[in-house]
Amino acid sequence: MSLNKVILIGNVGKDPDVKYFDNGNCVANLTLATNERGYTTSNGTQVPERTDWHNIVVRRDNVPFVERYVHRGSQVLVEGKLRYREYEKEGVRRFVAEIVADRIEFFNTGRRPDNSTTTNTSDSNAVAQTEQPVVATPSSETPF
């Protein structure tokens, strides 16, 4: 058994590049930045923060969502497969690693805006909000 699955949470680097084809298919390409915090090792060595950039390819039903709502700076969760491809440009063979997204959605840390609990639905200011999770508080009375 084998598994090819990638889950990334990061910030979109630039507005997605969306292409439509004559046969009705469409594809969106975007870049996603993920960060690892810097830290200090036990012997005092400083390890700086590291940013990795990932090429994301979105196809089929997810493209309209990406085209309409995902923009530079959006924090998203991407789930998909790692694919490698090669191409030739100006006589030089190039190799590219891409994440082919099966799922893409806004990632929210669960914090609500300070002054507002409503969602603005205009296209230019689309805001994704999630409901606060219901947390069961322990009770001193147990049912059994």
Q: Would you list the DSSP string of 80-131?
A: EEEEEEEEEETTEEEEEEEEEEEEEEE---SPPPSS--SPP--GGG-----P
CA 53 remoteness from chain centre: 11
State pTM to two decimals. 0.71
CATH number for position 85: 2.40.50.140
Which tens digit of pLDDT belongs to each residue from 20-50? 999 989 999 999 999 999 999 999 999 999 9
pLDDT for the residue numbered 97: 97
| Contact status, residue 128 vs residue 70, Cβ threshold 8 Å | no
* 79 found inside a domain: yes
With left for phi above 0 and alpha for psi between -120 and 50, is residue 24 left, alpha or beta?
A: left
Local confidence pLDDT in tens for the 144 residues of the chain? 999 999 999 999 999 999 999 998 999 999 999 999 999 999 999 999 999 999 999 999 999 999 999 999 999 999 999 999 999 999 999 999 999 999 999 997 666 555 544 444 444 444 444 444 433 434 444 443
* 94 found inside a domain: yes
* 51 found inside a domain: yes
Domain span including residue 17: 6-110
pLDDT for the residue numbered 112: 54
Count how many domains the chain has: 1
**Which token pair is 42?**
């036990």
